[in-house]
Every structure is written in C-alpha cells, then in structure tokens.
Structure 1
Amino acid sequence: MDQFQKVTEAIQFMTDNYRHQPSLMDVAREVHQSEYHFQRVFSEWVGISPKKFLKYLTVESLKSDLKSVPDLHVAAEMVGMSSPSRIHELFVTMEAVTPAQYKSGGDRLLIEYGFAPSLFGDCFVAVTDRGICAISFADGNREAVLGEFQAKWPAAELIQQDDVAMDVVEKMNSLFDPNPKVKAPTFHLLVKGTPFQVKVWEALLKIPSGMVTSYQQLASAVGNSSASRAVGSAVGKNPISWLIPCHRVIRQEGIIGNYHWGSTRKTAMIGFEKSKI
C-alpha cells in the first residue's frame, strides 16, 4: 500500500469522526500502523501533524474561507502578495480543440499517455504536441481510466510513454517544493468541451491554490449567477484534474462535496494546498 493510500484512509477516518476528536493512537490503529510510523508517514506527505491538517478542513474554516474572498480576481491578487510559497506563480494557459477535432474525436491527433505516482495517488497523464489533454487518477484500475479516456478521443492515435507522464507529474509535485532549484514550471492545456464548459474551466484557473470557492461564486464569475447547476455539471466534466482545480469548488455550506476522483482525495488536496500558503 502506497503512502497516499494510507493518508487517505486516515483522512477519511478523521473527517468521519471529527466530532469525537480521535487521538493519534485512534487514527494510527485505524490504518494499522504504530503512532510513531503513522505520524512520520503523514508528516512526510504534508509536513504537518494530522491534527493541524484537520483544522483546515472543518466546516467552520471552509465557510470562513468562502466569505473572506467572494471574488476570484481579488483572491488571486491576495495570494500573490501574501504567500511565501511559489504555488501562486503557477502559470497555466489553455486552448480548446478546433470544432473539427471536437466532432471527429481527435482525428489525426497523436496522444502520448502514461501513468506515474504523484502526491495525490497514481496519476494518468495524456499529452499532445499542443498541450496536456488529460490528467486523472487511476486508483488501481488503470485499464478503466485508459478506456474512459479512449472513449473521449476515439479517433486519436495513442502511444504509451510513462516517462512523459512522469515528467508532468514531477513538475506538478515541484510546485510544493519549499526550496525550489528552478523557476516554477508552466503548463499548456488542450481541452475538448463545449464553449460553456471551456468558459467554466477557464474560471477554475483563477482559483488560487490554498483557497476555495462555491458553485454559486463560480457561476457569478462566468457571468451567470443563476447557473449553479450547469456550472456544477461543467466542473464535474473537467478533463484535467489538479491543474484545472475543480477540487477547489465546494458547497456554499462549507461542505467539501463530491469529486470525480473521490471526495476523500478532494479533501486531501484542499488540506494539502491550504497547509502550503
């Protein structure tokens, strides 16, 4: 069992039993590890204790985050000025496939794909000469993830290149390096979606790492405050997890809510990012 799987088991147990305030011993027992070993595994992953990590994820804390910065543009400026982390330097650009490629399912498009371990689990990455076109999480079922991807790009030529995936994942992991040796990486994305979906995904790019927004706030950001349901649907169809940060969208009540790759992973990603700003 890899490190992240142990971490997610612990996070699931802690969030499920938050009101009972489980001790370190309780959590360690749940994941079948000694207190010492579990504390070390968790701290190696995120750099803080499980107890401190959990404080970032309470309903009260998340509701406060939603109220503190109602506008995505203001949020980006605030993080840029105050964060000691270079995560706010992340530069992501995005373009959509042509209408012809959208209709054909990627005809004449060469896609290199692969799998690589990441901070948040086994990662599937697909890349074209025009940019990254998919990032998702496999969770021990790589064939299903690849099949789902192929269904979206049925006419494309696919070649497995795990080193390509590893290169992308290493660049994403490096964003949280406290002592970076190189300049923050840039990423260019190629997405396949309807005009409305692309508009929502562009708005997601404005949510800074370590912050969250609600579906209602995101709907306002795309110019239609009454379209929360449609916005939620577009968020759920995001093809590039992590870099297009749909995990940073939560419910207005401060509840983290669903995530295509699992609500516990969403919880882990939000808590991890909040601990780094």
Structure 2
Amino acid sequence: MTTTLSSLSERSVAYERMADALSHLGETWRDWPDLSQCAHAMGLSPHHFQREFTRWAGVSPKQFQAALAHAEAGDLLRQGASVLDASFEAGLSGPSRLHDLFIAHEGLTPGQAKSGGDGANLVIGEAPTPFGTGIFLSSSRGLCGLGFADDGVSAKTGFEHPGYAKDAVFADLASRYPNAEPRRDDAEARRWAQRIFQGTDPIPVALYGTTFRRQIWRALLDIPAGETRTYGEVAAAAGQPKAARAAGTAIGANNISWLIPCHRALASDGRLHNYHWGVARKRAMLTYERAHAA
C-alpha cells in the first residue's frame, strides 16, 4: 500500500511539470530536440527529466517523440485541427479497462437525484493521481464523481494550466448533489485512487442520469483508449445522429471524468478545448493513454 500511494503521490506532484513537457514536445517534436534540449526547457538535468518523464508517462521522451512522428494525424489535419492539436490527438494511447465498467444509474434513486441527493450517504475526499490531485465523491454502491485540482501555474515554466483550486473542485462536485451533505474521508479517496489508477478490477460507477445522457455516456465508453470522436460521432454512436449539440451538453454533464472518458470527445472542429478540468489535463490524459499502448 505504501509503495502504491507513494508512486501515485510522486506522479501527482510531477503532473504540472509533465503537462508543460507534453506541451513542449508537442510543439517541437518535428525538430527532434535531444534529451538535453528538452530537459533544459523544463529547467531539469537530462537525467532527472528522463527519469521523471518515464516514471509519469510509462515511456521515455524519445519513445514519445517517435510515437508522435508516426501518429496518424492526417484525418485530424484534414478536419481543420492545427498541427499541434493533431499531434496531441494522435499521440500515445493505452489499453483500456473501460468496458469492464458499468453505469449503475440506480446508485442514486431517481427520487434522490431529483431532490439533490437528499438522504444519500455520500463521501468526498482528495487523493493523488497521475493528473494532479483527484477529488473523489462516492456512495456505498460506487463512484459518483471524480474531478481534478491543480495549482494553476507551473513554478518552473510559468505555463498556465486551466483548472480549479481544491476548494472550488470540492464545491463543484458537492453542488451536483446539494442536499446530500457528503462526509469528508481522504482515506476512502485514496482507496478509490489506488483501485482506479493502480488496480485491475472493474470499477463500480454509481451515477444517475436521464436515458439520453446514459446513452451518450455509454457511447463514450466505446471510444478506444487514446482515440477521439466528435460530439456528432458520439451522438450517432448513441443512436441520435441529429443530436450533436445535446450530446455536447450530456458530455459536459458527466460527473466522473477519466473513467467515463469525456476527454476523448471533441467539438466539430477537432480541436482540444472545452474540457471542464482544463485543456492541458485533457491533452495529458490522451497522451497518457497512448503511452501505455506504445
């Protein structure tokens, strides 16, 4: 347990610097900068940068550059995405356990959902994850919410990461069930973090939504790890081909980021934007998924 949590803590601390590194590599990979150049841009020694990047991403910076160089970005570019966005979208991907997930939409009864969670026994807490601090909201039946917090600005590079402070993320998740009064328990959050980011068993998800939203969320689960789909494509996969705008709203209403992968959904122009927990984090998630497959 100690080793696992230590590993998550180290990767969480490294997240913002790695987000900067992914941005830098995404901008420069066509020039094939060497390890020293990349490390210098991050304010680290080559040895430290190699070790920290590989520990976080699961591949070396050179392997990441090679994956970008061989990425099939042509379709995204033809759709109008920038070279930078296309390189990130076709970056590294990984095997997915998302088909093992189930959406137990009865985790909160319709009555509890309509009453803002009144009578629901919810627990909320924070724990380290590969994408910074995770805020976990759960019930006895499964995970009800997962969001991410960050410090806003990298101390090393000054690169600004969109996102929320911890108290704002706590308030965000709790506000989705305003009458539930969730109990704070960071130890329970750490258990969820270990199950999600270090475990192999299926993750129970306790989530209530309308029939249409559940259809959209299930369509998100069908997107292979590291790949992306437009809102229109997600709507079509859910059997609602004319409902792209409504699909975007449903995707934005997803309470459980990462596990129900709204980070794989793009607007019609194919660009990386409009992610609730920040574009830098969305880019990091897509890159992380591709890294493990590569």
TM bucket (normalised to shorter chain) is: 0.7 to 0.9
Alignment correspondent of 1:159 = 183
Equivalent-residue separation in structure 1 for 2:141 and 2:226 (angstroms) = 29
Structure 1 residues 13, 65: CA separation in 2 closer, same or farther (over 3 Å shift)?
Answer: closer
Native 8 Å contact 2:125 2:184 kept in 1? yes
Q: After the TM superposition, which residues 1-277 of structure 1 pair with which residues of structure 2 at under 5 Å, given as runs?
A: 2-18=13-29, 21-54=32-65, 56=67, 61-62=72-73, 87-88=96-97, 91-96=100-105, 97-140=108-151, 141-174=165-198, 184-251=200-267, 255-277=271-293
How many residues end up aligned between the 2 structures? 252
TM-aligned CA deviation for residue 192 of structure 1: 3.6
Q: Which amino acid aligns with 1:156?
A: A
CA apart distance, 1:162: 0.8
Aligned amino acid, residue 93 of structure 1: F
Question: 1:144 is aligned with what amino acid?
Answer: A
Q: Distance in 1 between matches of 2:239 and 2:206?
A: 23
The one-character-per-residue Cα deviations of 1:159-201 (angstroms, maximum 9, x if unpaired) are 11111111111112225xxxxxxxx211111224333222211
How far apart, CA to CA, are the structure 2 residues paired with 1:32 and 1:127? Answer: 39
TM-score (norm. length: structure 1): 0.80
Q: State the 1:152 CA deviation.
A: 1.2
C-alpha contact 2:195 2:203 (8 A) present in aligned 1: no
Cα distance in 2 for partners of 1:127, 1:230 equals 27
1:78 aligned residue: none
CA RMSD of aligned residues (A): 2.8
CA distance in 2 between counterparts of 1:86 and 1:262 reads 23
TM-score (norm 2): 0.76
More moved, 7-16 vs 87-96 = 87-96
Distance in 1 of aligned mates of 2:213 and 2:98: 25
5+ residue gaps in structure 1?
A: 68-84, 176-183
Question: Is residue 216–residue 247 contact of structure 2 (8 Å, CA) maintained in 1?
Answer: yes
Query: Percent identity among equivalent residues?
Result: 34
Aligned to 2:214, the other structure's residue is in SS state helix
Kindly tell me: are residues 89 and 236 of structure 1, through their superposed partners in 2, closer, same or farther at Cα, counting changes over 3 Å? Answer: closer
Equivalent pair of 2:98/2:259 in contact (CA under 8 Å): no
**What displacement does 1:216 show?**
2.4
One-letter amino acid matched to 1:168: W
Range with bigger deviation, 6-15 or 112-121: 6-15
Q: Equivalents in 2 of 1:109, 1:7: separation in Å?
A: 38
> Do the aligned partners of 1:57 and 1:267 also contact (CA within 8 Å) in 2?
no
Range moving further from structure 2, 202-211 or 35-44? 202-211
Q: For the Cα contact (< 8 Å) 2:147–2:173, is it kept in 1?
A: no
SS of alignment partner, residue 292 of structure 2: coil
**Unpaired segments of 5 or more residues in structure 2?**
1-11, 79-93, 152-164
Alpha-carbon shift at residue 261 of structure 1 (Å):
1.0
Q: Which moved more, 1:190-199 or 1:251-260?
A: 251-260
Q: Distance in 2 between matches of 1:35 and 1:150?
A: 42
Distance 1:51 1:191 in 2: 40
Counterpart residue type for residue 186 of structure 2: D
Instruction: Report the 3-state secondary structure (helix = DSSP H, G, I; strand = E; otherwise coil) of the residue aligned with 1:133.
Output: strand
SS at match of 1:168: helix
Distance in 2 (CA, whole Å) between partners of 1:2 and 1:171 is 19
